[in-house]
Each structure stands twice: as C-alpha cells, then as structure tokens.
Amino acid sequence: AQKVTQAQTEISVVEKEDVTLDCVYETRDTTYYLFWYKQPPSGELVFLIRRNSFDEQNEISGRYSWNFQKSTSSFNFTITASQVVDSAVYFCALSEAQYNFNKFYFGSGTKLNVKP
Amino acid sequence: GAVVSQHPSRVICKSGTSVKIECRSLDFQATTMFWYRQFPKQSLMLMATSNEGSKATYEQGVEKDKFLINHASLTLSTLTVTSAHPEDSSFYICSARGLGTTSGFFGPGTRLTVL
C-alpha cells in the first residue's frame, strides 16, 4: 500500500484563485515527519515545510498554509491567490521514526498549472 | 540552510558506458547520504542509503552491482551507474543528513540520458 497518496495528478487554476493540494498518508509509527516540496521544471526540490506528528497546529507562511489532521491522516497544502510562478509539481513526503527518519516516502506528486 | 551540490547536473552517454555522479555536502558533515531516482513524470524512489565509511544499503529491486555507491568522506558520496542502458535514463537526486538532524537536504539533481 502507498504510504503517501496524492490523489490529484494535475490541477489547473487561473491566477489569483485559491487551490488546495491533498495529501493522505499511512503509517503505524507514532513519531513521524511530514513534508511538502515544490519541484519546478528545473527539477530541484524546494523545501516548503516540515511538520512532526506531535504538532497538529496549522501553519501559515505568506500565501501558503498547511492543514494537518491526524484524525484523517491528511496534510493538505493551500495556496492562496495563486500566481503563475506557483506552477510546478508538488510532492508530499513522510519519514518515520522506525527507520530513524532516513527513508522519505514521496507521494506521486500533483502538477499545478496556474494560468494567467 | 544546508547546501548539497551534485555534479554533473546533466550527462549524456552512450549505452554500455559508466557514469559517475557526485554528491557533496558543502557546509556540513553528512553522516548519511541517500540516492533517489525519478523517472519522467513519476515520483522519487529511494535507491540506497549510505553511511560514511560503510557499505550502502540498497532498496529492494535496486541492483547493487549496477549502481555502485561510495561514501568515502563526510562530505562526498558518489553513485556510479555501470554499463548504463537507455532504461537507466532518469533524474538522480541525492540527499544528505547531518549528525543530530532529522531532515534531509536535497541536491539539485543530475539528469542522465543514455543513448
């Protein structure tokens, strides 16, 4: 079974629209980290956020916000007032204490297209 | 934040040749380095984990004789794709982790094209 599921393969929005990228994870570990990365066409992974399993407080960083809900094993990512520069593939990832946080399990990614 | 570099950023080679990719941690000592592979329009898959001075641990399905990993120092790991074939064409990304940290820092990736 997939450890990290990003059901949305591709999303297209018009600039200034809000968009939410879904991430559902599966783990038996009580201690784990969740991540979001942005991958522009150049391929480099850009770190966006890390959240540990004991911190369910939602976070906002500028136009970005994250909603972590352990009850539904979800860690969704919302971009408010999207911009063309937000176009990229976004990956959600999980690392677990049982592997000493060494293994990163990545979701399949969501390609976001923001049109002007 | 911590910086990880990879060299080369892009390489094209003929089938049957070997290609070496370097991963360096520039401002910290990387006790553990990880190699990922990403096929076009797919996700990143962990290939192997290497600790400085010891043999790499390969994930299931990854041929250790084909993908040679050396982690000879705390700032350098190399991945050698031996006898490369077109199906090895992929984006290879390394990640490095320092002592006492729980996050990996990713390199910019190396795009390998085997003709």
pLDDT at residue B62 in the model: 95
User: Measured between beta carbons, which residues in chain B are less than 8 angstroms from residue A37?
Assistant: 106
For residue B101, what pLDDT band results from cuts at 50, 70 and 90?
low
Residue reference for tokens 């976070």? A59
8 Å CB contact of A103 and B46: yes
* pLDDT at B59 exceeding the cut of 70: yes
* Residue whose tokens read 């923001």: A114
Interchain proximity A106–B34, CB inside 8 Å: no
Phi, psi (rounded to 5 degrees) for A71: -60, -30
In angstroms, the CA B70 to CA A1 distance is: 31
Encoded tokens for B26: 């520039």
Question: How many beta-carbon pairs below 8 A join chains A and B?
Answer: 49
Q: What is the C-alpha separation between A9 and A110, in angstroms, rounded?
A: 5
Q: List, in order, residues 6 or more apart from B63 with CB less than 8 Å away.
A: none
pLDDT given at position B27: 83
- For residue B103, pLDDT over 70 is answered with no
**For the residues B73-99, what does the mean pLDDT come to?**
93
* Per-residue pLDDT at A91 exceeds 80: yes
Min Cα–Cα distance to chain A from B108, Å? 4
Read off the pLDDT band of B1 (50, 70, 90): low
Tokens of B77: 């790991």
Q: Which tens digits make up the pLDDT trace of A94-111?
A: 998 877 777 889 999 999
Residue B107 contacts residue B93 (beta carbons within 8 Å): yes
Other C-beta atoms closer than 10 Å to the C-beta of B31 total: 18
Does residue B113 surpass a pLDDT of 80?
Answer: yes
Strand partners, A13: A114
Is residue A92 scored above 90 in pLDDT?
yes
What are residue B87's phi and psi, to 5 degrees? -70, -10
pLDDT of residue A1: 61
What is the torsional sign of CA B107, A4, A102, B78? Answer: negative
- Collect all residues of chain A within an 8 Å Cβ-Cβ radius of residue B104: 95, 104
DSSP state string for A28-76 = S-SSEEEEEEEE-TT---EEEEEEETT----EEETTEEEEEEGGGTEEE
Work out the percent of chain A whose per-residue pLDDT is above 70: 99
Q: Which residues of A44-69 are buried (b: 16+ CB within 10 A; e: fewer)?
A: bbeebbebebeeeeeeeeeebbbbbe
Q: What is the mean pLDDT of residues A56-60?
A: 87
> Per-residue confidence at A58, pLDDT binned at 50, 70, 90?
confident
Among candidates A33, A35, A106 on the partner chain, residue whose Cβ is nearest the Cβ of B43: A106
Mean pLDDT of chain A: 93
